Amino acid sequence: MTTFAWKNLFRKDSKEKSVLETLKNTHIFGSLNKRELRLVMQTIHVRGYTPGETIFVQGELGIGMYIILHGRVDVLARTQSDSDESQVVTQLFEGDFFGELSLVENQGRRTATAIAATETSLIGFFKPDLMEILERQPQTGSKIMLRLAEVLGRRLKETSVRLTELKQETSKAPGRSSL
Amino acid sequence: MTTDSRRLQIRRLNRLRLAGFFLILLFWLASVLIVENLLISTLIAFVISYLLSPVVNRLERQGFDRLWSTLWTFTVVGVLIGVTGFLIFPKLATALVALQKEAPTYITGFSRLIEDIESHLRAIFGPLFSFDLRELAESSLTQGSEAFFNEIPRFVKQTLTVMILAPFLAFFMVKDGRSITRKAFNLIPNHIFETTLSLQHQINHQIGHFVRARLLEALIVGLVTWFGLVLISFPFSLLLGIFAAVTNLIPYIGPLIGMIPAIGIALVNGSSNFDLLLVFTVYAVAQIIDGGLLIPFFVARLVNLHPVTVILVIIAGAQFMGVLGMIISIPVASTLKVTLETIYRHLTESRI
């Protein structure tokens, strides 16, 4: 584990290529050209996590999103709002991203807990980084914002569909009013 | 591996990272404090970088890369300062020489003024008033002015070192500051990473705005005072304008300190009440512009410190570092306030 830590702390540019590749393949940064991606590379944070290490906790203030460079992340949610018990709701793999809502929310809180399931490397992209890009190269920032809006819109659509399905299921259940 | 031993390992790793981060911070602090002129050069470099970063960012937005944007900005500003210095320094030197020549006259005049006050006090309090104010004032003024003029060569030497070192440091702060910070942030443990990043961003934002606003304020107050004193043909207008600008950086009491030398000179010269009123008007106009226009728009909304806190902080700053402490105490206090507020929010509101 110590080796992992040292590697993570002082490994320089060996990961650069895979970071660039991962960024290019992430929808939010997908429309950026090489020069714009280089600016994003200057702003992001590559973080290493050991198995079982918490990335963030449900209810905590969040300031940004993570992209999985390699490894696996378990996403857990509390079974009830006042309960301490959580259950895994989804598993995320290389190239997946999560926590993007915090990039646009003011004082936004994490809606789930994320834990590294294996040795994991994440690319962290946070609100101050987005602000820096918007300040230094607004065109690049706008492209990212547009893609971010697309992602959030898609998530909203998915949630709406799911909510409608749930409502339909509830109304079909015996002894329930259709209202 | 069991969950407990994993947790233990994660905790150990976090401690290791944090220790590394604090070691680097400590090393940096120690070098800044030990190496001569480095502390003041670093502080000035921070101020320069906060002033010039927006310009560099603006150039970067036009398509220039960071290095060229920084180079252009520093070159243009350097040339501008050079030209201004070339125009102002001879005048400043002449004013200083004149002040040195006339210092004994002013000291005698000031002593006479004190003597008058003393005789009035004796008339009121009689034998109860047993201080020799005149001698006290004369000796401390003579010693003070001698020390001031003796210190000038050392001050100039120190200024030259700082003038070379500060822009050099500032250049790299503007060009590479973000990447250096990012590298240092690699050592921050994961569980406090987001909080620390958010904290650093808020502090940076707050100090940046504060530095720019206060310097703009000081510059305008200095210029208004200078022009006003030139208009009423008051002696040492340039020196007094610079003094008013510098003291204006000290909140609340700074403007009063800035006015004292001019009022003193007017009283010693035996100026008429009308002349005194004119001098007072010049400083009042500068303060009205400052308080009525500059502070509401640029400063007040940036640092929401209670006036009592401000006074206490200034006193503490003065005790630790003298005039420099008075000037930097407010940004330091506002930094502490943002830090504590963010930590408090993180601790109390981290869960729903």
Query: What pLDDT score was predicted for residue A6?
Result: 55
Q: Select the residue of B13, B20, B194 nearest A50 (Cβ to Cβ).
A: B13
Residue scoring higher pLDDT (B159 or B194): B194
Query: What pLDDT score was predicted for residue A4?
Result: 54
Query: What pLDDT score was predicted for residue B304?
Result: 63
Least-confidence region, from A97-101, B30-34, B256-260, B293-297: B293-297
Max CA pair span of chain B = 91
Q: Are A91 and A74 in contact (CB under 8 A)?
A: yes
Q: To the nearest whole number, what is the mean pLDDT of chain A? A: 86
The pTM assigned to this predicted structure is: 0.75
pLDDT category, A94, cuts 50, 70, 90?
very high
Question: How far, in Å, are B119, B133, B140 from residue B136 at the CA level?
Answer: 15, 5, 6
* Percent of chain A's residues with pLDDT above 90: 53
For an interface test with B, the pick among A33, A47, A118, A132 (most B C-beta atoms closer than 10 Å) comes out as: A47
Across the range B192-207, mean pLDDT stands at 84
Max CA pair span of chain A = 63
Does position A150 have pLDDT exceeding 90, yes or no? yes
pLDDT category, A179, cuts 50, 70, 90?
very low
Cα torsion at B122, B124, B127, B131 (round to 10°)?
-40
Does position B139 have pLDDT exceeding 70, yes or no? yes
Residues 254-273 of B with CB under 8 A from A: none
Residue scoring higher pLDDT (A21 or B112): A21
- Provide the strand spans (E) within chain A: 45-49, 54-56, 64-70, 73-78, 86-92, 97-98, 113-116, 120-126
Query: What pLDDT score was predicted for residue B192?
Result: 87
B348 vs A: CB within 8 A: no
Query: What pLDDT score was predicted for residue A149?
Result: 94
Q: How would you list the strands of the sheet with A45-49, edge to edge?
A: A45-49, A120-126, A64-70, A97-98
Cβ within 8 Å, pair B10-A42:
no
Least-confidence region, from A115-124, B39-48, B111-120, B268-277: B111-120
pLDDT in tens, A101-133: 999 888 788 989 999 999 999 999 999 999 999
Residues in chain A with CB shorter than 8 Å from the CB of B195 are 61
Query: What pLDDT score was predicted for residue B134?
Result: 67
Residue scoring higher pLDDT (A151 or B249): A151
Query: What pLDDT score was predicted for residue A178?
Result: 42
Does position B300 have pLDDT exceeding 60, yes or no? no
Give B269's DSSP letter: T
Query: What pLDDT score was predicted for residue B334?
Result: 73
B157 vs A: CB within 8 A: no
The token pair that represents A99 in the structure block? 């926590």
Query: What pLDDT score was predicted for residue B352?
Result: 35
pLDDT in tens, B89-104: 888 888 878 877 777 7
B168 vs A: CB within 8 A: no
* Percent of chain B's residues with pLDDT above 90: 16
**ipTM greater than cut 0.90:** no
Residue scoring higher pLDDT (B250 or A176): B250
Does position B253 have pLDDT exceeding 90, yes or no? no
